[in-house]
Amino acid sequence: MNQQLALVILNYNGAHFLAEFLPGVLEHSPGCRIIVADNASTDHSLALLAERFPQVEVLPLSRNFGFAGGYNEALRQIDTPYYLLLNSDVAVTPGWLDPLLSLMEANPAIAACQPKIKAYHQPRYFEYAGAAGGYLDWLAYPFCRGRLFDTLEEDKGQYNLPRPVFWATGACMLIRSRVFWEAGGFDKDFFAHMEEIDLCWRIHGLGYEVWAQPASVVFHVGGGTLPKENPRKTYLNFRNGLWMLIKNADNDLIYKLPLRVGLDWAASLQFLLQGKGPSAKAVLKSHLDTLKSVEKLHTKRREIEKKQLGKAPLFPKLVVFEYFFRKRKFFSQLE
Kindly report the backbone phi and psi dihedral angles of residue 331, in degrees, each rounded to the nearest multiple of 5, phi listed first. Answer: -60, -40
CATH class of the region 2-220: alpha beta
* Cβ contacts of 276-279, under 8 Å, gap ≥ 24: 276/229, 278/231, 279/229, 279/231, 279/234
Question: What DSSP assignment string belongs to 155-188?
Answer: -SSTT-S-EEESB--TTEEEEEHHHHHHTTS--G
Is the confidence at residue 151, as pLDDT, over 60? yes
Kindly report the backbone phi and psi dihedral angles of residue 59, in degrees, each rounded to the nearest multiple of 5, phi listed first. Answer: -120, 90
What pLDDT does 243 receive?
97
Q: Quickly state the pLDDT bin for 228 (edges 50, 70, 90).
A: low
254-313: pLDDT as tens digits: 889 999 999 999 999 999 999 999 999 999 999 999 999 999 999 999 999 998 887 888
87-133: pLDDT as tens digits: 999 999 999 999 999 999 999 999 999 999 999 999 999 999 999 99
Cα–Cα distance measured from residue 219 to residue 121, given in angstroms and rounded to the nearest whole number:
9
Cα–Cα distance measured from residue 295 to residue 276, given in angstroms and rounded to the nearest whole number:
32
Cα–Cα distance measured from residue 324 to residue 49, given in angstroms and rounded to the nearest whole number:
46
Report the share of the chain in percent with pLDDT over 90: 90
Domain extents for the chain?
A: 2-220, 231-333
pLDDT, greater one: 136 or 253: 136
What pLDDT does 312 receive?
87
What pLDDT does 227 receive?
61
The predicted model gives 11-29 an average pLDDT of 97
Q: What is the mean pLDDT of the chain?
A: 94
Cα–Cα distance measured from residue 88 to residue 12, given in angstroms and rounded to the nearest whole number:
9
Cα–Cα distance measured from residue 171 to residue 130, given in angstroms and rounded to the nearest whole number:
8
Cα–Cα distance measured from residue 62 to residue 81, given in angstroms and rounded to the nearest whole number:
26
Is the confidence at residue 224, as pLDDT, over 70? no
Give Cβ neighbours of residue 118 (< 8 Å, ≥ 6 apart): 124, 125, 126, 127, 155, 217, 218, 219, 220
pTM over 0.85: yes
Cα–Cα distance measured from residue 240 to residue 245, given in angstroms and rounded to the nearest whole number:
9
Q: CA 16, 20, 23: angle at the middle one, nearest 5?
A: 130
Give Cβ neighbours of residue 112 (< 8 Å, ≥ 6 apart): 168, 173, 174, 175, 176, 179, 200, 203, 208, 210, 211
Please report which helix (H) or strand (E) contains residue 269, including its range.
helix 253-273
